[in-house]
Structure 1
Amino acid sequence: MKCLICSSDTEHHFSKVYDKPPFDRMMRDIGKIDYRKCPKCGFTISQTHADMDTSVWEKLNNDFHHYLENSETEINQPPYLEQAVMLKVFAENGIIDTDSILDFAGGYGSLSKVLKKYFGIRLPVYDAYVHDGQQDFYVPRENLKTYKTVLNSALFEHLTTRDMFDSINDLVADDGCMIIHTVICENIPANPDWFYLEPPVHCAFHTNASMEMLIQQWGYVSSVYVPKAKCWVLFKKENVNLVETVMKINKEFQAEYAIYKKGFVDYWKGF
């Protein structure tokens, strides 16, 4: 299997069997999961998920989300309030454009609702599988265009083909930015009990090196990481002096609120 990021030959990394509740039942017919790792950039992917028939993959996703809807357990919920604050702060400082924005795979629109109610920002949502008919913020697939700001939250870990990654980037304007919320670390451990494997729909895992390669391939020149929001903002073009603007924000908050770097901010090193 070739690496989705750098096209190197991947190697077997480890295997996992979901044999504990609540996921043992929904994974019973799928069986052992084999993960492969790129020796060059570290990107790791489940070959089992990548090879699944579409019907099996969709059933697994439906079973998982049905479990979440009917359980008090909250797995990997994004920090919506902190993300909303980040969007407001960055918009006020000209770092991002919230007049041309999309939440890609935004689910039931939790972030959109927070932004509208508390910050007066309208965040349109596209989701291929979820649609709440009572909400007017959904964008049909046929109405998608390019946007100055494209957000995706807890999505990258669900993608199994390069085309899936590229289709998100294709929505970003030439002078726009992409905001991502996912786990990106220095190395993906060969540990079946690693916390980010708990949801059985998580199947693709980036390293700092693989993200550096990916954003270069896509034409992004710099990035900002906001630890409280657990988000990276990737810039194809810096519309303001980002270094000075980030320093100004940090001084206002009297904290290292945002971290700037040419290329990709390799923030997480310890795991």
Structure 2
Amino acid sequence: MSCKPKDFYGNDGAIGLLRWLDKIQAVLRISDCLETHKVRYAANSFQGKALNWWNNQIQARGIDEAESMEWEEFKALLLEEYCPINELQKLENEFWHLTMKGADLMAYNDRFHELSSLLPHMVNSEARKIERYIWGLAPQIGSMVTASRPTTLKSAILLAGQLRDHLVRTNAFENKNSGEKRKLDNPNTSNHSNQTNHSNHFKKPNNNKKPATVRNYGAVNQERKNQHAPKCAKCNFFHFGTCLVCTKCGKPGHQANNCRSNPTPRACYGYKTKKP
């Protein structure tokens, strides 16, 4: 890594400042910069709007006092100027709700590393980093990583990658997504049976339905008894000798004890003519 600090213009908002601070602190650490020289070294990379802001600080404090301030105080001034609270809250909210999208574990890892570096106060220990990382994994991966109880973030990331590759090979992600898609495409599927029963309950009766045919079981019984007899050409039933004629209804093919017709005549309520 080059020991030349990266220029800072102050035009990229909160993310630009946090990335620059992360970079400059790495440069200061590698170059073994003295604590009393850190501010002077970092301020040398200011350009444009950031340089104007630093010149105002020198005019207000004096160059000796400005360049000799503590590093943490210097960072606090920069955060106050270029990282307003609303911008910082947006990043914190994104980090708080960061989750893995589908099977794209690489994108999740990259964003997790970036936000955890920009917002170290949200994951200020290794245990907090592991907990937050597992929480954002896909459920079928996160549950198995939790069961393994990783002690380092590196081991959790390695196991998550292995599990992700296995689920991709077995098409577990595709099956899950297709099942969810079917549910979204057919949101009323689960209520289909209830709607069908509801519609049938209030269904109007069909008045055009054909009446049920009444079978003459007497004739059927008689036909079964004489099924080995020849078929009569007159009545179309199977019997020996003369045709059977019912003494009640007068129809052939059955006897009076098997007759199902009602011989009682109905009264006539027809139109009556007036007497002259």
Which structure has more relative contact order (CA 8 Å, sep 6+)? It is 1
The structure richer in strand per residue is 1
The structure richer in helix per residue is 2
TM-score bucket of the superposed structures, by smaller chain: under 0.3
Q: TM-score, normalised by structure 2?
A: 0.17
